[in-house]
Every structure is written in C-alpha cells, then in structure tokens.
Amino acid sequence: MGKVFNLSSQKTDMFGNLIVTSATLIDFQFLVGHKLEDIIPFNKSNDSLKEEGAIILPRDYFLFEGIKDGEIKMKPYEYNPRRIIISTYKNIIVSVDSIG
C-alpha cells in the first residue's frame, strides 16, 4: 500500500465550532533520508504510484529547499502554511527546517 500522508486537521467540537490545527515539524520527519526527486506532490500522484509505495505529500503541500549543499537559498517573504522548508545535501533531505 502506498504512503499517502493526510493531515486531516479540521474537526468540530461539541458546540459545532470548527477546530483547525496546524501541521508541525514532527508531522514531516518521515521525509528525512529520502531523495528529493522520490517525493511526489499530491496533484502528480496516481493509483499506480500509491501501489508502488511512493512517498506522496499531503494535498497542497510543497517542498522548498532552504539550504542546498550548505548554501543558503533565498526564501520568499510571504508566509505560506503549506510550504515545507528543507535542507538537502546531494539531493538527499537532511532535515526539515520549518513550515511556512
């Protein structure tokens, strides 16, 4: 079975209010140690990739290389809660730095 990670973060309490929790760095620690090109965005996935066991990001999330081979890249100024900032060395993810 494929590794599709869903971060279902919308729930309702007993009064009908919507409770939304944001993703944390711990939610994306599964990316560490994998090659950058092996991780597939949700919109480019299909059933055959899921059956092969490919790593598929949750819907609307994307990777941004903040540090590539020890060189710091410039990150956009605007905040994006779906951007996962990672550090890579020779196209292997070394750490998940932040989200946003």
Question: What distance in Å separates the CA atoms of residue 46 and residue 88, rounded to the nearest whole number?
Answer: 26
User: Which residue would you say has higher pLDDT here, 42 or 76?
Assistant: 42
pLDDT at 98: 86
* Tokens representing residue 25 in the block: 């760095």
Q: Quickly state the pLDDT bin for 1 (edges 50, 70, 90).
A: very low
Question: What distance in Å separates the CA atoms of residue 84 and residue 3, rounded to the nearest whole number?
Answer: 18
| Tally of CB atoms within 10 A around 87 | 19
89 Cβ contact list (under 8 Å, min separation 6)? 69, 70
Is the pLDDT reported for residue 4 higher than 70?
A: no
Q: Quickly state the pLDDT bin for 100 (edges 50, 70, 90).
A: confident
